[in-house]
Amino acid sequence: MGLMKMISFKGGCRILFITLIVVGACAPLRVCAQRVLERSEKLRPAWLANKTSKPGNATFHYQITEGEHHNLQDARHSCLLNLSTYIKRTHRISEQAVAQIGFEQENGKSSESENYQFSYDIQGERVTVVSCKYDEYWEYVVYPNGERVYRCYTLYGVADKANPDFDRLSFSRKYGMRGFARSLIVPGWGQLYKGNTVKGACILGGEVALVTGIVIAENLRSSYVKKMREQPQHLKTYNTKADNWENVRNVCIGGAAALYVYNLIDALVANGRKRSTTHKAVSLAVYPSAGDCNGMSLAFRF
């Protein structure tokens, strides 16, 4: 009888242990054909996941291009050439047409937001398309054959009209209360929202595993308490087991509470993936007005 009770207790421990491992798995195993050695940022920007704001007007659209090369500068140039290919395709320009690419510089240096002009001579007529470079992200990867290349992604605004009104974008890794509010409801949701997929999955999986542990431990504790009343001759044995499972339950409760607090703090202060914000154009209007007395006043509106 004593051996059967020991097996029962060990079996319960084994079930709990297996449940914690299976439920708490943070992420599926992935087989990668390439390995990232270096990257321009810790997390991929939001615009690379098609989370860029919609254009503020119909004079342009956003476009992402990708380029690869053995050095970063040529990878950037490859992005530009691929943008030219995209413009040819969308404007139905012959592939044989050669693009003349010009870009604006300030004091001999590339500005933070570079403007490019793609000019094509088609049967004596010049077609010009303007674009604006907003941001870039690159990775230095190694393939299974040992080849190492820079892979560059660039976000452009491409004109759809003759005089495009490109949006003014700013980029930030701060999310304020957005992530905190989500993690307050579901642990790990804020991290997932900010692009920290692995961290968010680990927090969510950890909370689920700990809550599962609380439920299992409490059920086993209650079961042994019930057996104490039904079989008083084994009171001491069942009481010890009930105490053990109560300790396991309390540890899981403490772990779940600590992980939840960490989840809130991290969601509030940790940086997320770079996101874009569109700013309204700044305009100045002057409104002259005449009062009841002599004179005139000017009202400025921004």
Nearest C-alpha neighbor of 218 from the set 192, 185, 186, 251: 251
Whether the predicted pLDDT of 11 surpasses 70? no
**pLDDT, tens digit, for every residue of 118-162?**
887 776 677 788 888 999 999 999 999 999 999 999 999 999 888
| Residue 85 identity (one-letter amino acid) | T
CA atoms within 13 A on the CB side of 152: 23
Task: Say if residue 293's pLDDT is above 70.
Answer: no
Q: Which amino acid is at 198?
A: V
Distance CA 293, CA 122 (A): 65
Give the Cα-Cα-Cα angle 230, 235, 236 (nearest 5 degrees): 160
CB contact at 8 A, 115 and 103: yes
284 compared with 70, residue with greater pLDDT: 70
- pLDDT tens readout for residues 240-283: 888 899 999 999 999 999 999 999 999 999 888 888 888 765 54
| Cα 209 from Cα 214, distance rounded (Å) | 9
Burial of residue 132 (CB within 10 Å: 0-12, 13-18, 19+) is: buried
Residues 6+ apart with CB under 8 A from 294: none
pTM over 0.85: no
With beta carbons less than 8 A apart as the criterion, state whether 153 and 48 touch.
yes
Q: Which amino acid is at 300?
A: F
3-state secondary structure of 210: helix
Element (H, E) at 158: strand 148-159
DSSP 28: -
